[in-house]
Amino acid sequence: MTSAREAAARRDELSANLQHVRERIRFACRAAGRLPEDVTLIVVTKFFPASDVEALCQLGVTDIGENRDQEASVKIAALSSEVRQRLHVHFIGQLQSNKAASLASYVDTVHSIDRVKLVRALDRAATAAGRDIGALVQVSLSGDSPGRGRGGVLPDGVAELAHSVAAAQHLTLRGVMAVAPLGVDPAKAFAQLATVAHGVRADHPAATWVSAGMSADLEAAVANGATHLRVGSAILGSRPLFG
C-alpha cells in the first residue's frame, strides 16, 4: 500500500517535473515564434502505474501515451470513470494487427500506423467497437537502421499509406509521427519529417498533426513544427532498464 504521504510526495514530484517541461515548451515556442497553445503535450506513462495517471490528470494533463496494449488496457481499466472521461489516450508503440480489437476499446488515437494490413485491422476493430479512432502514419527517417529502427514506413511510402487511412471508414487521418533515429541530429530528422508532413497535408488538408519530440529533443521538434510532443522520463522519471 502506498501511504498518503508517499502519494503526496509523488504528486509534488510530478507537479514540479510537469512545470519544468511546460516551461521548456513555452521557451521553445517563443524561440520558434509559435504559440504554446498550438503544441499538445502527451505524457508517456508507460511503465508507470494508474495512480500516476490519476495524479497527472489532477495536475491538468489531458493526453497520455502508452506503447504496449497488455499494460495499457489494464491501466486504463483501473482509472476512475471521471479521469477516464477527461483523458485522450494515444497509442505510440509498435503494433500487431491481432491487438487491434483490444486497442479499439480504449484508444483515441494510434500514432504508429506503418502498414496497410494494420489500417484494415484497426478499421475493422473500430467498426466493431462502434468508435472512430484517430490515426497517424509513422515515418522512418533517414538514419533509421533496419531492424534497430522503431518502425515506420519510408518517406516514399507515406502517401499511399495516408490514402488508405483516409479511405478507412472509422479511422480519421490526423497526420504523421516519427522518432528521431539514434545518432542523428534530431533537428535534421524533424526537418525531414516536416517536409513529409507538408506532403501529406497537400493531399489531406485536415491531417495537421506532427507527432515528434521526446524528453531529450522536444526543443528541436517544436522548432520544426511539431504539434504533439510525447514526453515520458522528463516527467515521470527514468524507466526500469529491463522495460
DSSP 15: H
Considering the complex, what minimum distance in angstroms separates the CB of residue 66 from ligand PLP? 9
Residue 202: count of CB within 10 angstroms of its CB: 10
Considering the complex, what minimum distance in angstroms separates the CB of residue 214 from ligand PLP? 4
Strand runs labelled E in 61-181: 63-66, 88-91, 109-113, 133-138, 171-177
> In whole angstroms, what is the distance from residue 49 CA to residue 71 CA?
9
193 touches ligand PLP (CB under 6 A): no
Provide Rg for the chain, Cα atoms.
17
221 touches ligand PLP (CB under 6 A): no
214 touches ligand PLP (CB under 6 A): yes
DSSP 205: T
139 touches ligand PLP (CB under 6 A): no
17, 215, 224, 227: which one contacts ligand PLP (CB under 6 A)? 215
231 touches ligand PLP (CB under 6 A): yes
72 touches ligand PLP (CB under 6 A): no
Considering the complex, what minimum distance in angstroms separates the CB of residue 239 from ligand PLP? 7
Sorted by sequence, the CB contacts under 8 Å of residue 82 that are 6+ apart come out as: none
Binding positions for ligand PLP, rule: CB under 6 A:
44, 46, 67, 92-93, 179, 214-216, 230-234
